Amino acid sequence: MVFRYDSILIRLALLAACAAEPLCCAERWISVSTSHFEMYTPNGEKQAERSLRGFEQVRYFFLQNNKNKQAPEGRVRIIAFSSEKEFKSFRPNAGTFAYYQQSHERDYIVMQDINPEHHAAAVHEYTHLIIRYLKLNVPLWLEEGMAEVYSSLEPKGAQAMIGRPPPSDWITINNRPLMDWTLLFSVDRDSPYYNQPGKMPVFYAQSWALTHMLLLGEGYRSGFQKFLTAVNTGMPAATALQNVYGKNVEDIRKDVERYVHQTMVAAALFDVELSKSELDPEVSEISPFQKELALADLLSNRPQTAPEARQRMLALEQQHPDNIELQESLGYLAWQQNNTQEAAKHFGLAVNHGSRNANMIFQYAGLLQASNAPSGDIVKLLQQVLAIRPENMEARFFLADMELRRQRFGDALTALSPIHTVNPDQAYRFFAISAIAKANLRDYHNGKESALKALKYAETPDQRLRMTNLLEFVDTAVKGNATNTAVAKTTSSNSDGERATLRRREDLPRVQGKTKAFECLHGAYRLHVQVGNREMIFAMPDLGDIVVRNTASGTVDWSCGPLKPLEITVVYKPAASGTAAGSVSELIF
């Protein structure tokens, strides 16, 4: 399909962020929802429904052309004002008709209005959203070029079409000197060509022209996916063009100049299959509170407008103190400002009021852990998260870690039990937790098997040391020299079966105090002793070499965890660094 252009109106769509002043209006706002979008707007229902069907078609296009079928989770919320006057206090500059913004819970597309001539700017911004979710690591010129090309997408009955040149790009590319192509490939987000109004039009127009040719041009479109894959892996654009198309930068320059000076420009049609829920949106009226909270949420995500967002939210809280979404928003706003105590307060109120926001509850659990809150409270929150989203792997690992800390080894294994496969980056954590729990439950065979797997995926010296220590403990236990309680022996036998003579090393330091705890997590053992008004920690790297004095049996049995306070003298080898004062040589009761 081709287009012939005789006269063109100028349109400028710029990537932007939100600015804001309070919006005061008495209009009736409605919510119009499809399967994947939710629009808040004072515009009419028919206009809103037509606009949302266009967004659904764009989404369908991207999914059909993405083999991984990745897309944003949940509905994208679109805030569509009805005029420039209303939008003015939210826009960053006079040239912006729409922008994309991500908040703590959702993605936003914000539009000046839903007039057809401005719809392309909103589609441009939605393209940026999709590129981010697809995790495409492409040069800035290609990202903006694709956003410009796809912004032309327009419904054609049961089909949709892309390829119509944006008027502003078409005029610029045909009437202004172009930038050097090597310079185009190097433009980043700090470049004047991406930030200065006098230079931006050339960058956008040139990016559109090259991307349009690669996507739809004869002799280029068949290689576009290969080219996209190449640059996505980090290959320089000039190298990728040479490898895929056999053309250097000068060849590309000549081809683009011929391409844009044609009187006919290629376009493409594709079929669109939308479901009933995507074609027939649900319409409902939203309250002033819902509208104001959404607008305050927009303001909360920029440092410049965050103070105003907080004022708006606190005013809303006076009227609706029990509103869950408001408490969550106040919590996230406080978190963004590094006020974790305030964030935890609002998250806690949201949970108490019945929030089922699994992400927020998980983050609340993390804040409580950082503040040394009772482990039982954290465990309850993580259990709530998994009741809502059992597939949340991070919550499962977090819960298993907490259960290990509480020495509830069976519960730690229960937390991990639904996991049947793990990614390489999760493997060490999974097998290490499993190994520690099993070893402490005397399941030495499976504990050793898990420890060996954890050792295989260990990435740091500390991880390898922990699993090596655990394997030594398991091997000793299997041979009958240890049980699930660690046993430090006072004697050894010589070749004649007689007791060896124990000799004290008088040159080692010693302290006297009371036993407090025996720590045996992660395959390493440490003794905690209360010495006066301070707690001292002593490493016990080799239990079999520790001399124990003044016990009837010549041995001492300690279960992992808190110990009954008993008078003890510790003779130890001082440590050069670390939290432990040293390693135990003798224990004297």
Q: How many other C-beta atoms lie within 10 A of the C-beta of residue 27? A: 13
What DSSP string describes 268-310?
Answer: EEEE----HHHHS-EEEE--HHHHHHHHHHHHTTSTTTHHHHH
Q: What pLDDT digit, counting tens, does each position of 44-103 carry?
A: 888 888 888 888 888 887 777 665 555 566 789 999 998 888 887 777 666 678 888 888
For residue 47, the model assigns a pLDDT of: 86
Output 572 or 356, whichever has higher pLDDT.
Answer: 356
What's residue 198's pLDDT?
A: 87
| Per-residue tokens: 105 | 């819970």
Query: Residue for token digits 């892309």?
Result: 162
Residue 311 has pLDDT above 50, yes or no: yes
Query: pLDDT tens digit string along 143-164?
Result: 999 999 988 887 777 777 888 8
Taking a C-beta distance cutoff of 8 angstroms, is the pair 33, 281 a contact? Answer: yes
Q: Exposed (0-12), middle (13-18) or buried (19+): which is 517, by Cβ within 10 Å?
A: middle
Res 320 pLDDT > 60: yes
3-state helix, strand, coil in the chain (%, to 5): 50, 15, 35
Reported confidence tier of residue 408, pLDDT bands at 50, 70, 90:
confident
25-38 per-position pLDDT tens digit: 457 899 999 888 99
Res 11 pLDDT > 60: no
Helices (H), 134-248: 140-150, 167-175, 181-186, 192-195, 200-216, 224-232, 237-245
What CA–CA distance (Å, rounded) separates 19 from 7?
A: 34
Spatial CA neighbour of 45 closest among 25, 58, 28? 28
**Distances in whole angstroms, Cα of residue 530 to Cα of each of 372, 393, 534, 535, 570:** 21, 38, 6, 5, 11
C-alpha closest to that of 311 among 330, 331, 338, 298: 330
CA-to-CA separations, 529 to 168, 407, 485, 533, 566, in angstroms, rounded? 76, 20, 18, 11, 10
Task: Write the Ramachandran bin of 578: left for phi over 0, alpha for psi from -120 to 50, otherwise beta.
Answer: left
State mean pLDDT over 186-205: 90
Is 426 a residue whose pLDDT tops 60? yes
Q: How many helices (H) does the chain have, and how many strands (E)?
A: 23, 20
pLDDT of residue 260: 87
The C-alpha torsion from 180 through 122 and 151 to 11, rounded to 10°, is -60
Across residues 219-225, what is the average pLDDT?
91
Q: Which pLDDT score is estimated for 92?
A: 64
| Spatial separation of the C-alpha atoms in residues 149 and 133, rounded to whole Å | 18
Which pLDDT band holds residue 367 (cuts at 50, 70, 90)? very high
Phi and psi of 371, rounded to 5°? -95, 10
* pLDDT category of residue 10 using cuts at 50, 70 and 90: very low
Specify the pairing of strand 526-531 against strand 534-539: antiparallel
Phi and psi dihedrals of 438, rounded to 5? -65, -40
Report angle CA 467, 469, 475 to the nearest 5 degrees.
Answer: 100
Q: Token match 């950082």: residue?
A: 370
Q: pLDDT at position 395, please?
A: 96
Q: Give tens-digit pLDDT for 521-562.
A: 656 788 889 988 888 888 887 776 788 887 766 667 777 777
Within 29-122, strands assigned E span 30-33, 37-41, 76-80, 98-102, 107-111
For 5-19, what is the mean pLDDT? Answer: 31
Whether 17 has a pLDDT exceeding 60, the answer reads: no
Query: pLDDT at position 341, please?
Result: 94
pLDDT band for position 377 (cuts 50, 70, 90): very high
**Which pLDDT score, from 0 to 100, does residue 509 have?**
85
pLDDT over 60 (residue 581): yes
Mean pLDDT in the chain?
Answer: 83
pLDDT digits (tens, 9 = 90+) for 464-511: 988 998 898 888 877 764 444 444 443 333 333 333 333 445 567 888
Q: What is the pLDDT of residues 94-111, one digit of tens each?
A: 667 888 888 887 889 999
Residues 6+ apart with CB under 8 A from 164: 3, 152, 154, 265, 267
Q: What is the mean pLDDT of residues 304-324?
A: 93
**pLDDT (mean) for 228-236:** 92
pLDDT of residue 6 exceeding 70: no
Taking residue 236's Cβ as centre, other Cβ atoms within 10 Å add up to 13
What confidence score (pLDDT) does residue 268 get? Answer: 80
Question: How many residues are present in the chain?
Answer: 589
Q: Where are the alpha helices (DSSP H) in 82-157?
A: 84-88, 116-133, 140-150
